[in-house]
Amino acid sequence: MTSDMSRRGVLQGAVALGTLGYGPAHADDARHAAVAVQPDNRVRKSMTAYIGTPTSRIDGRAKVTGAAKYAAEFNVPGLAYGSIVASTIAKGRIVRIDASEALRVEGVVDVLTHQNRPRLADNDSAYHDDVAPDGSPFRPLYDERILFNGQPIALVVAEDADIARFAASLVRVDYHEEAHVTDVHRRRDEAVPLELGKMFGPPQPRGTPEAALAAAELRHAGEYYVPIEHHNPMELYAATAVWEGGGKLTVYDKTQGVQNVQRYLCGVFDMKPDDVRVMSPFMGGGFGSGLRPQYEVVLAVLAARALERSVRVVLTRQQMYGIGYRPAMIQRIELGANSDGTLAAITHDAITVTSQYEDFHRQETGWSGLLYKSANAKYAHGLVKLDLPTSCDMRAPSAATGVFALESAMDELAVALKLDPLELRLRCYSDRDQTTDRPYSSKNLRDCYRRGADAFGWARRNPEPRSMRDGTELVGWGMATGVWEALQMSIAVRIVLSANGHAEVSCATSDIGTGTYTIMAQVAADMLGLPLDNISIKLGDSTLPQSPVEGGSWIAASVSNGIAATAEAVRNDLLRLAKRMPNSPLADAAPDEVALEDGKLVSRRDALRAVSIANAMRHGGADRIEKEEAITFAHEGPYAHNVHSAIFAEVKVDEQLGVIRVTRVVNAVAAGRILNTKTASSQIMGGVVWGIGMALHEETLVDHHFGRVMNANIAEYHVPVNADVHDIKVIFVDEPDDIINPLGIKGLGEIGIVGVAAAIANAVYHATGKRVRDLPITLDKLLG
Ligand code: MOS
């Protein structure tokens, strides 16, 4: 690893070897020492009592009864409450902060600013978390500089949350203001080009794209726009820093990565790992906004250390718009087609936005050349720096936006070719990763197209725009392809098996709402041959075995295979004990010949040769078996790993008013072996709802005069509500994969949104004959 890589920590070192959203295809570092987990499918396939079955969340009862505690719900005696004062200018510096009036309010304990705060680290690397982009990370309450509107500049701490918030309104701030820019359209010509083939940069070109485009039978070029969007998780960002005395802290933080936050806090406050434990047992939605440590945790810890007491900081809904966001993206796609409906060339140019201080971007353009067969492809990506906070990952970062443009452009090409849009996709179908020219470990997108189209009734589509009606409404049918990476990350899992047949399974991963608790329990129950109820799961605690942040849809595959590896170690220990029993029926059995089933060690050759776990442990004098295994995955193998989907959408558009309803969506997904069809369907359904929002509703509006978000609330930032969501059908196609990992698992937290906005935009075109290339598709754009 280069020093750059090690500075970035475990996560980026590993993701650098991914292919698209999280890393370039040809990452020039074969330095990731990886030991691939060996598939043992003979073992696995017989053991699926729970894996694959629709299982209700094991934490569901705790969540609906309120027993599940979130970061702002951990109460301790003497807790103080912090309220954030945010800057009202976008750029400049603080000249004076007058907290005297706030300090006079009864119940106010202190007002912390850059002038009176305790010491914070003074170098960028201390603030550089596992998923930080290049640049100089934001330092809350560090100095007088203002980098974005809404920046935290003071923390009012009081005995009560309402007093703190009231007193925060009394803090007076004088600024020296400087000119700011928050409008990507004003800066697009000054976008800084990203280097090709570098980490998160656009891929290298292939073939001779210019010549191929010039020679193409038919060309389509279009510019597409996706605005800034915010994650809007239901739970507000919050941290409760519990002062344990002697400088030690337990921090309950809303985060997708407790160990990332712990390392970060150790850097920022120069603390030792033993001095700070970070917990996040439950999370009310993250969607990427909690991959990096957010400033609430810095402020809570800062105040706790300053006051030597426990402090809680909760962001307001408005302040939730002062953290990361999905970068606005201007994209130009050009497709050259041969007359037979195959692709001759693809070019994809993108501009995305970031802050003035960090260069966040993903490989947004690479999806185009990956997905469809085309000998020629070329990419460009420029970064526009604005006076806003740094943009960040948001559900299917880069693909949700990049594939919107690609799949809109493919639809436009199909229209120009007078070809059914699904037929065009089939003619361009690729069985190889086009960017790296590798076969897939599995790719069953064909079945997604087939089964999705059947379920939707696609064959009955009249290709003519405006040809289908339902009363006063125009009916449109559109489709699109989705693609995401199937990533997996180094992870460790501990299992403690008790003689009574109960197992505790632990890992520092989060469950960001995806169902991680539940799938961990299902996998552990199957691998240990125990009933689901005998399994308890511990996660979201920095003291547990190592985990990356939960993101990139990589936790399900990673942690499940980690559980399988650790369960194997438990089995081996049990077998050693069983062999010592007098006349042991397993005396000659090799570990691989023995499975754990129904509370027993059982010979795979002869099911009558078995020893119960209880007997083996009793004879061996063991009341518990504790094992911890760490696994890594080979990233640069001969195969590409992706998940795919086919989305079919129906819209009904009121002809007079332009009101659009998404009446039906079928999303057919190929994502390897599905661990839990119930929670998996929920993930895809949630992704479709996000796609509806992206297509029709979501847009963060910045008043460029003030450089401030205008609609920083869920009344004016529109997300789909129940009335916007109609019939959604989720299909999982079979996609056996003996190569990717022993359990054949791919993740699916993110694929659900990819392609949905394009399918809806294409349906709107089919309904109305009007092509809207900038999102969201609001009725004024249809009527205008
Ligand atoms: Mo996801 S955007 O990696 O939480």
The span from the CA of 458 to the CA of 453, in Å, is: 5
Distance (Å) from CA 524 to ligand 1 centroid: 25
**What separation in Å is there between the alpha carbon of 420 and the centre of ligand 1?**
34
State the Cα–Cα distance between residues 266 and 146, nearest whole angstrom. 25
Q: How far apart are CA 74 and CA 712, in angstroms?
A: 27
Strands 438-439 and 432-433: antiparallel
Residue from 750, 751, 753, 754 to probe ligand 1 pocket by mutation (most atoms less than 8 Å from CB): 750
Measured CA to CA, the distance from residue 778 to residue 455 in angstroms comes to 28
Beta carbons within 8 Å of 771's beta carbon, 6+ residues apart: 408, 412, 761, 765
pLDDT mean for each 10 residues of the chain (784 residues) = 32 40 36 34 55 96 97 97 98 98 98 97 97 97 98 98 98 98 97 93 96 97 98 98 95 98 98 97 97 98 98 98 97 97 98 98 95 97 98 98 98 98 98 95 98 98 97 98 97 97 97 97 97 97 98 97 98 97 96 96 95 95 97 90 98 96 98 97 98 98 98 97 97 97 96 98 98 97 88
Dist. CA 553 → ligand 1 center (Å): 7
Atom of ligand 1 nearest to the CA of 395: 2
Measure 260 CA to ligand 1 centroid, in angstroms.
14
From CA 668, how far away is CA 664, in angstroms rounded?
Answer: 13
- Spatial contact of 283 and 69, defined as CB atoms under 8 Å apart: no
Q: CB of 483 within 8 A of CB of 754?
A: yes
Ligand 1 center from residue 577 Cα (angstroms)? 43
Question: Ligand 1, atom 4: nearest CA belongs to which residue?
Answer: 288
Q: What is the sign of the dihedral through the CA atoms of 679, 680, 685 and 687?
A: positive
Supply 667's token pair: 């999303």
Atom of ligand 1 nearest to the CA of 551: 3
Ligand 1: residue of 395, 398, 512, 643 to mutate (most ligand atoms within 8 A of CB) is 395
Query: What is the pTM assigned to this prediction?
Result: 0.94
Residue bearing tokens 């920590």: 9
Q: Using one digit for the tens of pLDDT, what is the confidence trace for 424-445?
A: 999 999 999 999 999 999 999 9
Please give the structure tokens belonging to residue 536: 């308890």
pLDDT of residue 635: 76
Measured in Å, residue 347 CA sits from the centre of ligand 1 at 27
Q: Which of 129, 229, 287, 363 to mutate to test the pocket of ligand 1 (most atoms within 8 A of CB)?
A: 287
Instruction: Tell me which residue has its CA closest to atom 3 in ligand 1.
Output: 551
> Of 297, 304, 250, 294, which Cα lies nearest the Cα of 109?
304
Output the ligand 1 site: residues, CB below 6 A: 256, 286-288, 291, 393-395, 397, 551-552
Question: What positions carry a catalytic annotation?
Answer: 750
Atom number, ligand 1, closest to the C-alpha of residue 288: 4
State the distance from the centre of ligand 1 to the C-alpha of 736, rounded, in angstroms. 25
For the chain, the C-alpha Rg in angstroms (whole number) is 27
Looking at residue 32, what is its pLDDT? 31
* CA distances for 637 relative to 19, 28, 292, angstroms: 12, 14, 29
Q: What's the CA-to-centroid distance between 370 and ligand 1, angstroms?
A: 21
Closest atom of ligand 1 relative to the 552 alpha carbon: 3
Tell me how far the alpha carbon of residue 286 lies from the centroid of ligand 1, in angstroms: 8
Residue 603 to residue 609: CA distance in whole angstroms: 6
